[in-house]
């Protein structure tokens, strides 16, 4: 059974003519990475937030099916959704610089995330925060625990954000352009970390990106989106070797040549 299964997802923002997401269907298996690619405004982030039920009130969401681990997410109560967010599906976004509260230490923020999903003592939450920091391979984890976010580099902050996303031991991770704000060497490190974490825990990964180089490196399957619609959805090798849709060919041509997927 798929970890996440989406069928006929439609999202329309109030006051807009065209739907932001139009009849989108896909599924993600445990241990698998599905890449969602497309130009800016094609509805990638909207799809990610729709899955977690986090779109603003003016967005109207419909779907034939939106199921996580066999549980229908549409029509869940706010409390039940809170349990799924972080506890079932973790999410990491683009801008790690502002994804942390400037007034709380790194350890406090991760411990807070732990305690949202596990009824443990403060000391235990702190111990788990430390373990999480080690899991995301932050240098000098013990010392970082008591540091404030502004003392950390962008890459470290993104690691902290990933640690927070993992605090609830989710089975799936949605990563919305997790490396766009970082410089190139750090990007590669964070992507490797995501891949390793995925392999360790058998996470299902929904990777949102417009970087085909990242897709080639990370993804098993690719879904190409434009104007909220799915143009094609295929295994990554097939897509790179024989793109079917003209738009995909255009995308591939616009991207510096990538060799065969690593």
Ligand X SMILES: Nc1ncnc2c1ncn2[C@@H]1O[C@H](COP(=O)(O)OP(=O)(O)OP(=O)(O)O)[C@@H](O)[C@H]1O
Site residues, another protein (CB under 8 A): 52, 54, 57, 78-79, 81-87, 90-91, 93, 95, 98-104, 112-113, 116-117, 148, 150, 161, 164-165, 167-168
The binder of 43, among Mg ion, another protein, ligand X, none, by C-beta within 5 to 8 A per type, is: ligand X
The runs of H, that is alpha helices, within 42-148 are 44-51, 78-87, 106-117, 122-135, 141-144
SS3 content of the chain, % helix, strand, coil (to 5): 40, 25, 35
Q: What are phi and psi of 71, to 5 degrees?
A: -100, 130
Q: Candidates 24-32, 42-50, 167-175, 211-219 — which segment interacts with ligand X by CB under 6 A?
A: 42-50
- φ, ψ of residue 260 to 5 degrees: the values are -70, 150
- Count other Cβ atoms within 10 Å, centred on residue 85: 19
What is the closest distance, in whole angstroms, from the C-beta atom of residue 57 to ligand X in the complex? 10
Using a 10 angstrom Cβ sphere, with 0-12 exposed, 13-18 middle and 19 or more buried, the burial of residue 188 is middle
Closest distance to another protein from the beta carbon of 88 (Å): 9
With CB cut-offs between 5 and 8 Å by kind, which of another protein, ligand X, Mg ion, none does residue 115 bind? none
13 interacts with, out of Mg ion, another protein, ligand X, none, CB within 5 to 8 A per kind: ligand X
- Residue (95 or 124) nearer to ligand X, CB: 95
Q: Residue 55 or 236: which CB sits closer to another protein?
A: 55
Residue 43 binding ligand X, by CB under 6 A: yes
CB 102 within 8 A of CB 95: no
């Amino acid at each position: 059974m798929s970890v996440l299964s989406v069928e006929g997802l439609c999202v329309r923002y109030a006051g807009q003519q065209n739907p932001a997401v139009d009849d989108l269907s896909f599924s993600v298996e445990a241990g698998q990475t599905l890449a969602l690619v497309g130009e800016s405004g094609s509805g990638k982030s909207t799809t990610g937030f729709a899955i977690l039920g986090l779109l603003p009130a003016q967005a109207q969401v419909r779907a034939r099916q939106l199921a996580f681990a066999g549980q229908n997410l549409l029509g869940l109560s706010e409390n039940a959704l809170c349990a799924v967010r972080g506890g079932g599906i973790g999410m990491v976004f683009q801008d790690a610089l502002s994804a942390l509260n400037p007034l709380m230490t790194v350890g406090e923020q991760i411990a807070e995330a732990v305690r949202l999903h596990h009824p443990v003592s403060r000391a235990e939450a702190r111990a788990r925060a430390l373990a999480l920091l080690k899991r995301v391979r932050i240098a000098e984890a013990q010392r970082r625990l008591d540091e404030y976010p502004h003392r950390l580099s962008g890459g470290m902050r993104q690691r902290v954000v990933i640690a927070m996303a993992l605090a609830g031991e989710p089975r799936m991770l949605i990563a919305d352009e997790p490396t766009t704000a970082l410089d190139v060497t750090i990007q590669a490190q964070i992507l490797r970390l995501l891949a390793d974490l995925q392999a360790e825990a058998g996470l299902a990964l929904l990777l949102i990106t417009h970087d085909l180089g990242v897709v080639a490196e990370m993804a098993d399957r690719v879904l190409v989106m434009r104007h909220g619609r799915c143009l094609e959805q295929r295994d990554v090798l097939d897509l790179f070797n024989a793109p079917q849709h003209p738009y995909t060919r255009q995308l591939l041509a616009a991207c510096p040549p990538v060799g065969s997927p690593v």
